[in-house]
A and B are shown apart, each in its own frame.
Chain A
Amino acid sequence: DTAVSQTPKYLVTQMGNDKSIKCEQNLGHDTMYWYKQDSKKFLKIMFSYNNKELIINETVPNRFSPKSPDKAHLNLHINSLELGDSAVYFCASSQRQGRLRDGYTFGSGTRLTVV
């Protein structure tokens, strides 16, 4: 199936741990994103990569580090997890920046719970 897939779907972990969320798209898109849906349900962009190159890095703690080994993958590594990091994280992709007609294709989300 052509899609944006992210793993794991659920992640429960203790404060202070380091964890990673993986994302892969097989749509041939050039640009990938990480969005965070906070407790107020807003979807806020965290990072954007275009062909493995970092394009957008919003005000995100440097405990969050994206890694794009190739244009089909964008992983998110989080160090020293805090309670406030609990949220749903969505990966997304688009054909290229500036080509907006079809918007983004989103993954199904990773619900991260820090206890």
Chain B
Amino acid sequence: DQQVKQNSPSLSVQEGRISILNCDYTNSMFDYFLWYKKYPAEGPTFLISISSIKDKNEDGRFTVFLNKSAKHLSLHIVPSQPGDSAVYFCAASASGQNFVFGPGTRLSVLP
């Protein structure tokens, strides 16, 4: 039972353009969401978060949008840089419980 889905296993984007990574969830009790970035042979590192009381959170080149009615969130990276090439995981939590992770999307930013 996949409560957190990332339906695109991979995404390629040209350097300087916008990268949009999508995440869908099924559990309406989820109230906190994180994005993690993972390079090969390293652990995931925290990127950005959003609470269900917001619909947008921005941190530099990274913006996360939350659409609660659609149970959908997205991560926008503008402008994309080659160093952004990594696997991005979406994670969700309900009421302070442990996070449920999606399977990840591999982003390749082409120079």
List the interface of chain A (C-beta within 8 A of B): 4, 9, 33, 35, 40-45, 48, 56, 90, 92, 97-109
Q: In the complex, which residue of chain B has the Cβ closest to the Cβ of A6?
A: B43
Say yes or no: A100-B93 contact (C-beta < 8 A), given A41-B103, A42-B101, A56-B98.
yes
Number of interchain pairs (Cβ within 8 Å): 58
Interfacial chain A residues near B36, Cβ < 8 Å: 103, 106
Which of A4, A97, A99, A102 is the one whose CB lies under 8 Å from B43? A4
Interfacial chain B residues near A45, Cβ < 8 Å: 98-99
Q: Which of B14-22, B44-52, B75-83 contacts its partner?
A: B44-52
Q: In the complex, which residue of chain A has the Cβ closest to the Cβ of B105?
A: A41
> B96, A108: Cβ atoms under 8 Å?
no
> B98, A48: Cβ atoms under 8 Å?
yes
Any A CB within 8 A of the CB of B34: yes
Interfacial chain B residues near A97, Cβ < 8 Å: 96, 98
Give the shortest distance, in Å, between B83 (CB) and chain A (any CB). Answer: 18
The complex places the Cα of A109 from the Cα of B43 at a distance, in Å, of: 6
Say yes or no: A106-B32 contact (C-beta < 8 A), given A33-B98, A41-B104.
no
Any A CB within 8 A of the CB of B41: yes
Say yes or no: A109-B41 contact (C-beta < 8 A), given A102-B46, A103-B46.
yes
Q: In the complex, which residue of chain B has the Cβ closest to the Cβ of A111?
A: B41
- Max chain B CB contacts within 10 Å: which of A4, A92, A100, A109? A100
Q: In the complex, which residue of chain B has the Cβ closest to the Cβ of A3?
A: B43
Interfacial chain A residues near B49, Cβ < 8 Å: 100-103
- B84-111 interface mask toward A, CB cutoff 8 Å, 1 = contact, 0 = none? 0001010101001011011110000000
> A107, B101: Cβ atoms under 8 Å?
no
> B32, A100: Cβ atoms under 8 Å?
yes
The complex places the Cα of A41 from the Cα of B36 at a distance, in Å, of: 14
Q: In the complex, which residue of chain B has the Cβ closest to the Cβ of A96?
A: B96
The complex places the Cα of A102 from the Cα of B99 at a distance, in Å, of: 12
> B45, A106: Cβ atoms under 8 Å?
yes
Q: In the complex, which residue of chain A has the Cβ closest to the Cβ of B42?
A: A108
- Max chain A CB contacts within 10 Å: which of B34, B42, B91, B99? B99
Interfacial chain B residues near A108, Cβ < 8 Å: 41-43
